[in-house]
Structure 1
Amino acid sequence: MSSSKTHPKPKAAPKAKSAAKPLLICAGVALAAVTLGLVSWQATAPADKDSGSAGSAPAAAPRNDTSAALQALARREAGDKLAVGRADAPVVLIEYSDFKCGYCGKFARDTEPELVKKYVDNGTLRIEWRNFPIFGAESEAAAKAAWAAGQQDRFAAFHAAAYADGSKEKGFAEPRLLELAREAGVPDIERFKADMAGEQAVAALKKDQEEGYRIGVTSTPSFLVNGKPIAGAQPLGAFTAAIAQAEAAAKQ
Structure 2
Amino acid sequence: MLAALLLGISACYGAGEAPEQEATGAVSAGLDLYSGIPQDGVVLGDPGAPITLVEFSDLRCSHCRDYALEVLPVILDRHVRTSQVKLVFRNLTFLGPGSVQAARMAAAVGAQDRLWEFVDRFFRIQARERAPITDELLLRIASELPGVDAARAMAQRDSGEVAQQLEAARAEATRLQVHGVPALFLSRQGEGLRRLRLTSMSPEPISRAIEQLLRAPRPHG
Normalised to the residue count of structure 1, the TM-score between the two structures is 0.67
Among 116, 121, 134, which residue is 1:156 paired with? 116
Alignment partners' CA distance in 2, 1:134 and 1:51: 20
Which residues of structure 2 form unaligned runs of 5+? 1-9, 26-37, 188-192
Please give the secondary structure, in 2, of the residue aligned with 1:163.
Answer: helix
| Contact 2:39/2:114, CA 8 A, preserved across alignment | no
Among 88, 91, 107, which residue is 1:128 paired with? 88
* Residues 94, 52 of structure 1: alpha-carbon distance in 2 compared, 3 angstrom cutoff: farther
Alignment-derived partner of residue 118 in structure 1? 78
Alignment-derived partner of residue 15 in structure 2? 13
1:205 aligns with 2:172: no
Alignment partners' CA distance in 1, 2:14 and 2:113: 33
| Contact 2:54/2:88, CA 8 A, preserved across alignment | yes
Alignment-derived partner of residue 188 in structure 1? 149
CA RMSD of aligned residues (A): 3.0
| Contact 1:149/1:181, CA 8 A, preserved across alignment | yes
Alignment partners' CA distance in 2, 1:228 and 1:234: 19
* Residues 208, 243 of structure 1: alpha-carbon distance in 2 compared, 3 angstrom cutoff: same
| Contact 2:60/2:95, CA 8 A, preserved across alignment | yes
| Contact 2:49/2:83, CA 8 A, preserved across alignment | yes
Alignment partners' CA distance in 2, 1:182 and 1:84: 21
What whole-Å deviation, never above 9, does each CA across 1:59-84 have from its counterpart, x for those lacking one? Answer: xxxxxxxxxxxxxxxxxxx9731111
State the shift of 1:156 in Å.
Answer: 2.0
| Contact 1:186/1:192, CA 8 A, preserved across alignment | no
State the shift of 1:188 in Å.
Answer: 1.9
Alignment partners' CA distance in 2, 1:133 and 1:87: 27
Among 55, 61, 64, which residue is 1:101 paired with? 61
Alignment-derived partner of residue 202 in structure 2? 235
Sequence identity percentage = 23
1:84 aligns with 2:84: no
* Residues 81, 50 of structure 1: alpha-carbon distance in 2 compared, 3 angstrom cutoff: closer
State the shift of 1:206 in Å.
Answer: 0.6
Equivalenced residues, count:
191
Q: Which stretch has the larger CA shift, 155-164 or 217-226?
A: 155-164
* Residues 250, 120 of structure 1: alpha-carbon distance in 2 compared, 3 angstrom cutoff: farther
* Residues 220, 93 of structure 1: alpha-carbon distance in 2 compared, 3 angstrom cutoff: same
* Residues 168, 205 of structure 1: alpha-carbon distance in 2 compared, 3 angstrom cutoff: farther
| Contact 1:52/1:103, CA 8 A, preserved across alignment | no
Alignment partners' CA distance in 2, 1:141 and 1:116: 27
What whole-Å deviation, never above 9, does each CA across 1:79-129 have from its counterpart, x for those lacking one? Answer: 731111112211110000011111111110111111110111111011110
* Residues 84, 10 of structure 1: alpha-carbon distance in 2 compared, 3 angstrom cutoff: closer
Alignment partners' CA distance in 1, 2:51 and 2:217: 8
Alignment-derived partner of residue 58 in structure 1? none
Alignment partners' CA distance in 2, 1:11 and 1:229: 17
Alignment-derived partner of residue 18 in structure 1? none
Alignment-derived partner of residue 169 in structure 1? 130
What whole-Å deviation, never above 9, does each CA across 1:179-226 have from its counterpart, x for those lacking one? Answer: 111122353222111111212111110111111011100000000012
Alignment partners' CA distance in 2, 1:51 and 1:179: 22
What whole-Å deviation, never above 9, does each CA across 1:32-52 have from its counterpart, x for those lacking one? Answer: xxxxxxxxxxxxxxxxx6787
* Residues 250, 137 of structure 1: alpha-carbon distance in 2 compared, 3 angstrom cutoff: farther
* Residues 172, 189 of structure 1: alpha-carbon distance in 2 compared, 3 angstrom cutoff: same
* Residues 210, 167 of structure 1: alpha-carbon distance in 2 compared, 3 angstrom cutoff: farther
* Residues 146, 50 of structure 1: alpha-carbon distance in 2 compared, 3 angstrom cutoff: closer
| Contact 1:96/1:129, CA 8 A, preserved across alignment | yes
Normalised to the residue count of structure 2, the TM-score between the two structures is 0.76
2:177 partner letter: G
Alignment partners' CA distance in 2, 1:220 and 1:251: 29
